[in-house]
Structure 1
Amino acid sequence: MQSVLRRLAALFACAGGLVACGVALMVVGSISGRAALSSPVPGDVELTQLGIGLAIALCLPWAQLRGANIIVDFFTQRASTRTLRRLDGLGSLLLAVMAGLLAWRSAVGAVSVAQAQEQTMILGLPMWWSYAILAPGLALTGVIALWQAARHWRGQPAFVGAAE
């Protein structure tokens, strides 16, 4: 299971990184075009919002798998390893539930907005895309967090490639 989750998360993260690089290049081109030729990329703000949302959603599973999220351990510094594992397991379970709910609602929202045939203001892109692109990354994040919760509770390492 770990190997499959790692490969999927890495694939999502690479795709997210490529999208972010593409957005960065588009922004540079738009700013340069605006400054030099008074001709920015049409819909650059719409494309930036869509692209960065996608990039973030695609990178979330990798961050969760690696344990690269922020942990505030002020209140648990003196807790036993067993207590920490239980709390980490509970946190992972809560994240799995939240990510699953967000993925589900993003997919439902995409269908609803698609039926309403809403479009972006400048480019006329279907608005449902902005909802639909979030669902896969959120769903994979939820699956990874659920897997991690089970591993925490069994006393097994739950983060791939990171020190616990």
Structure 2
Amino acid sequence: MSWLRRLALWSALAGCGAACAVALLTVVSIVGRQAGRPIPGDVELSQFGIALCIALCLPWCQLQRANIIVDFFTQKAPARLNRGLDAFGALLLALMVGLLAWRAGVGALAVREAGETTMILGLPQWLSYATLAPGLALSAVVALAQACGWEPEA
């Protein structure tokens, strides 16, 4: 399943690109504000970009097992029990982000039908929902694979 690892990596790189674009947008807008020419809708674009960044970076985070784990009660438990609990947690995460991906897709269709747009720029609001679904779905696939015992090669 090296394809899944590569897909998660490319997703994270795209998420980092989105974060860099938001950072650049913020700097240009702040400088523009000082010159009396801010970027209209910079807050809308920043919110959209950071949400996209988070959704795209989640699969890599899960692949690296970099999510927060509270192991206070299981520190001294046998390794087998910890592996079982990790698999169960990965399954729960797969279900949760799978549900979020599905609802983001359904929400995008509903918002598209309603014709909602952003307040300042008038961008179609459904785009922000639709772009979250792929990253969330990929996170679900990674977590499900881990719940089934898959460990990525280094």
**Aligned partner of 1:57 among 30, 55, 58:** 55
| 1:140 aligned residue | 138
d(CA) in 1 for partners of 2:19, 2:31: 18
| Residue deviations 1:43-68 (CA, integer Å, cap 9, x gap) | 00000001011011000000000111
**Aligned partner of 1:98 among 93, 96, 99:** 96
| 1:19 aligned residue | 18
Shift of residue 72, structure 1, vs aligned partner: 1.1
| 2:33 aligned residue | 34
- Once superposed, what is the RMSD of the aligned Cα atoms? 1.0
**Aligned partner of 1:117 among 96, 115, 118:** 115
Shift of residue 159, structure 1, vs aligned partner: 5.5
d(CA) in 2 for partners of 1:28, 1:138: 29
Give 4+ residue runs of structure 1 displaced > 2 Å after superposition.
Answer: 158-161
**Aligned partner of 2:80 among 72, 79, 82:** 82
Query: Is the alpha carbon distance of 1:138 and 1:160 closer, same or farther for their aligned partners in structure 2, counting shifts above 3 Å?
Result: farther
TM-score normalised by length of structure 2: 0.97
> Counterpart of 1:124 in 2: which secondary structure?
coil
> Counterpart of 2:28 in 1: which secondary structure?
helix
User: In 1, are the aligned partners of 2:5 and 2:152 still within 8 Å (CA)?
Assistant: no
1:6 aligns with 2:28: no
d(CA) in 2 for partners of 1:160, 1:146: 16
d(CA) in 1 for partners of 2:18, 2:50: 7
Q: Aligned pair count? A: 154
> Counterpart of 1:70 in 2: which secondary structure?
coil
| 1:45 aligned residue | 43
d(CA) in 2 for partners of 1:68, 1:39: 41
Output the amino acid matched with 1:6.
R
> Counterpart of 1:118 in 2: which secondary structure?
coil
5+ long unaligned stretches in structure 1? none
TM-score normalised by length of structure 1: 0.91
5+ long unaligned stretches in structure 2? none
> Counterpart of 1:75 in 2: which secondary structure?
coil
> Identity rate of aligned residues, in percent?
62
